[in-house]
């Protein structure tokens, strides 16, 4: 077989078998991460600071299931349910709860990807804009 034929065969195999690509490792873009260092809440998008105020006013509720809270306006915001940290991105062993960042006009309106995740024991809080793919800690909590 000529070198040209070998190259063609390799190309056909590569196109036919995309699962043979390089495995995902923590250094690839597909990996989850905690971005360092923590930032003050003022350095996040404005909706993050608003969400921090909303949840602080609601007393950072914790619930076994997601709960929709009615806000003035009328708006609804969901949160307080446990966050399992199954990906292991955040420090292990903490009792985490998740909270929506952006209120919705009705409880049935689709939720977006932005969340706050809070360690109930220490009040440490992380923001994720992409539904837990990346986290950034909010310095001094919310």
Q: Tens digit of pLDDT for each residue in 43-70?
A: 999 999 999 999 999 999 999 999 999 9
Q: Is the pLDDT of residue 6 over 70?
A: no
67/107 Cα distance (integer angstroms): 9
For the stretch 82-131, pLDDT in tens is 999 999 999 999 999 999 999 999 999 999 999 999 999 999 999 999 99
Instruction: Identify the pLDDT of residue 32.
Output: 63
pLDDT value for 30:
46
Measured distance CA(28)–CA(114) in Å, rounded: 22
Contact between residue 54 and residue 77 where contact means Cβ atoms under 8 Å apart: yes
Element (H, E) at 116: strand 115-119
Can you tell me the distance from the alpha carbon of 140 to that of 142, in angstroms, rounded to the nearest whole number? Answer: 7
Domains of the chain: 34-85+95-142 (3.10.450.30)
């Amino acid at each position: 077989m000529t070198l040209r034929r070998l190259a063609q065969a390799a190309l056909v195999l590569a196109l036919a078998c995309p699962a043979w690509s390089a495995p995902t490792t923590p250094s690839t873009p597909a990996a989850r991460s905690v971005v360092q260092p923590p930032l003050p809440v003022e350095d996040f998008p404005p909706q993050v600071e608003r969400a921090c105020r909303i949840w602080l006013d609601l007393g950072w509720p914790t619930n076994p299931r997601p709960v929709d809270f009615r806000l003035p306006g009328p708006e609804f915001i969901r949160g307080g349910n446990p966050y399992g940290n199954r990906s292991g991105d955040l420090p292990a062993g903490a009792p985490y709860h998740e909270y929506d960042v952006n209120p919705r006009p009705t409880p049935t309106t689709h939720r977006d990807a932005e969340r706050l995740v809070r360690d109930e024991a220490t009040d440490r809080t992380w923001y994720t804009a992409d539904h837990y793919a990346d986290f950034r800690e909010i310095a001094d909590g919310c």
